């Protein structure tokens, strides 16, 4: 059977060449006589995978020598508490609230110190991210400025890196990591689940500057100590080896695509085509996010009614386009356009949207 056009918000579509490599590796990994799932995480062949994944990430993201790359457990949600537990320690932090993911992060951070929500689009249904500096000067002594680079639910995205002033900068990059060029050196901490642009669910990428290790509580349980994971090169306990292998192959695939400049151009073009179709629909389709805040990763839109949206989703599914239902929190429609989504899927979506507008959608 031919594969569907997968617009799911994550876990989402992955590149077919990497999936084919994974199929082969499950049976036989690197001429070891063992499958990828069956080798020790301490085997030299697997340590080589970790080293290669780190080297490729450092190259793609322009990381500096003072930045540590970790492959951890527990998803971005574990970082929501682990970072403030380690770093806040009764101090003060500033959060930019752009949706459900920052809401959840704020709730966890409040356990460990004072949280200033210095900007929020909650009142307008999280339809925007702030412009640079719109949050005003941070309180004296603020340890870090926290933001979520792309909001999958609202379909908003920062198209710039917030300036944290003298504070550290922490970014949740779960849903747009490695989707465009990035000056990684500007971030004190970046983290994200890999299950959107970089692999299957089960690995959390954390990139942090080494100076932060000195600021952290050493009395925490060992699994919650970043310095322990750094010391053990993400092999303190058995990690999700399959997911780490996938990161290595995905970063190789991204490099083969021409690196993040080329990937970013293609992602921007994919999103621009879908937004153009929305904007040219004479109001039949309505974009959800304010134009300057539109996400390249998750295009949120609507036909204007819950019934119309449900009919669209069902007909699209019948036409082989899956994952177009919006997040339950905000409803509507959503087309996620991650790295691995082919241009052909965007072609299919635009054709379907146009056909639906002209015909079935009016029935």
Q: Which is nearer to its own copies, 63 or 105 (CB)?
A: 105
199 binds its own copies (CB under 8 A): yes
User: Cα dist. 358→188, 190, 275, 334 in Å?
Assistant: 49, 44, 18, 20
- Residue 282 annotated among the catalytic residues of the structure: no
Q: Is 193 in the site for its own copies (CB under 8 A)?
A: yes
Instruction: Decide: is 230 part of the binding site for its own copies (CB under 8 A).
Output: no
Binder of its own copies out of 124, 132, 222, 351 (CB under 8 A): 222
Closest separation in Å from C-beta 176 to its own copies: 16
What is the SS3 string spanning 154-201?
CCEECCCCCCCCCCEEEEECCCCCCCCCCCHHHCCEEEEECCCCCCCC
- Give the total of residues touching its own copies (CB under 8 A): 66
Near its own copies in 136-175, by CB under 8 A: none
Distance CA 362, CA 289 (A): 24
Contact call for residues 139 and 92 (beta carbons, < 8 A): yes
Give the active site residue among 127, 172, 188, 309.
172
Q: Which of 54, 101, 135, 356 is catalytic?
A: 101
351 lies in the binding site for its own copies (CB under 8 A) = no
- Which listed residue (70, 76, 154, 260) binds its own copies by CB under 8 A? 76
Could you tell me the smallest distance in angstroms from the CB atom of residue 71 to its own copies? 11
Q: What minimum distance in Å lies between the beta carbon of 92 and its own copies?
A: 19
C-beta separation of 95 from 105 below 8 A: yes
Q: Are strands 67-72 and 5-6 parallel, antiparallel or unpaired?
A: unpaired
State the Cα–Cα distance between residues 172 and 160, nearest whole angstrom. Answer: 14
Q: Does 77 bind its own copies (CB under 8 A)?
A: yes
Contact between residue 22 and residue 246 where contact means Cβ atoms under 8 Å apart: yes
Instruction: State which of residues 50, 60, 69, 85 lies at the interface with its own copies (CB under 8 A).
Output: 85
Q: Which of 28/163 has CB closer to its own copies?
A: 28
**Rounded distance between C-alpha atoms, residue 63 and residue 208, angstroms:** 10
Pick the binder of its own copies from 164, 192, 243, 264 (CB under 8 A): 243
CA-CA-CA-CA torsion sign (210, 214, 216, 218): positive
Look at the alpha carbons of 58, 59, 61, 63 in this order and tell me if their dihedral is positive or negative: positive
CB of 234 vs its own copies, minimal distance in Å:
12
Q: How far is the CB of 244 from its own copies (least distance, A)?
A: 9
Of 27, 30, 5, the C-alpha closest to 16 is 5
Angle between helices 241-256 and 44-60 (to 10 degrees): 40
**200 touches its own copies by CB under 8 A:** yes
Query: Is there binding between residue 39 and its own copies (CB under 8 A)?
Result: yes
Binding residue for its own copies (CB under 8 A) from 2, 90, 136, 291? 2
Q: Is 342 in the site for its own copies (CB under 8 A)?
A: no
Q: Which CB sits closer to its own copies, 27 or 51?
A: 27
| Cα 206 from Cα 172, distance rounded (Å) | 9
Name the residue nearer to its own copies (CB basis): 22 or 350.
Answer: 22
> Exposed, middle or buried: residue 284 (CB in 10 Å: 0-12, 13-18, 19+)?
middle
- Residues 180 and 269: their CA atoms lie apart, in Å, by 12
Known catalytic residues? 101, 172, 196
Provide the binding-site residues for its own copies, judged by CB under 8 A: 1-4, 6, 8-14, 19-20, 22-23, 26-28, 31-35, 37-41, 73-78, 80-81, 85, 104, 107-108, 111, 193, 195, 199-203, 219, 221-224, 236-243, 246, 320, 322-323
């Amino acid at each position: 059977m031919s594969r569907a056009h997968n617009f799911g918000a994550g876990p989402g579509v992955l590149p077919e060449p990497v999936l084919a490599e994974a199929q082969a590796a499950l049976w036989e990994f690197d001429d070891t006589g063992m499958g990828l799932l069956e080798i020790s995480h301490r085997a030299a062949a697997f340590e080589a995978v970790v080293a290669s994944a780190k080297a490729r990430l450092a190259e793609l993201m322009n990381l500096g020598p003072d930045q540590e790359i970790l492959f951890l457990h527990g998803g971005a949600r574990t970082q929501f508490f682990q970072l403030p537990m380690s770093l806040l320690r009764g101090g003060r932090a500033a959060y930019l609230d752009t949706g459900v993911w920052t809401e959840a992060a704020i709730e966890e951070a409040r356990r460990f110190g004072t949280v200033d929500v210095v900007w929020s689009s909650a009142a307008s249904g999280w339809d925007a991210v702030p412009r640079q500096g719109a949050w005003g000067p941070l309180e004296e002594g603020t340890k870090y400025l926290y933001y979520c680079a792309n909001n999958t639910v609202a379909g908003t995205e920062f198209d710039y890196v917030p300036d944290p002033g003298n504070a550290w900068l922490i970014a949740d990059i779960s849903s747009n990591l490695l989707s465009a060029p990035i000056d990684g050196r500007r971030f004190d901490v970046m983290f994200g689940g890999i299950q959107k642009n970089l692999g299957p669910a089960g690995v959390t990428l954390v990139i942090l500057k080494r100076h932060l290790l000195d600021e952290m509580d050493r009395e925490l349980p060992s699994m919650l100590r970043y310095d322990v994971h750094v010391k053990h090169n993400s092999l303190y306990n058995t990690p999700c080896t399959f997911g780490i292998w996938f990161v290595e192959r995905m970063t190789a695939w991204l490099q083969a695509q021409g690196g993040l400049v080329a990937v970013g151009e293609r992602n921007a073009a994919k999103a621009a085509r879908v937004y153009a179709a929305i904007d040219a629909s004479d109001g039949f389709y309505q974009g959800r996010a304010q134009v300057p805040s539109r996400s390249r990763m998750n295009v949120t839109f609507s036909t204007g009614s819950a019934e119309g949206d449900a009919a669209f989703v069902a007909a699209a599914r019948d036409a082989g386009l899956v994952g177009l239902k919006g997040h339950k929190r905000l409803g509507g429609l959503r087309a996620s356009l991650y790295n691995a989504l082919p241009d052909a899927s965007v072609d299919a979506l635009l054709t379907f949207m146009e056909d639906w507008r002209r015909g079935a959608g009016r029935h």
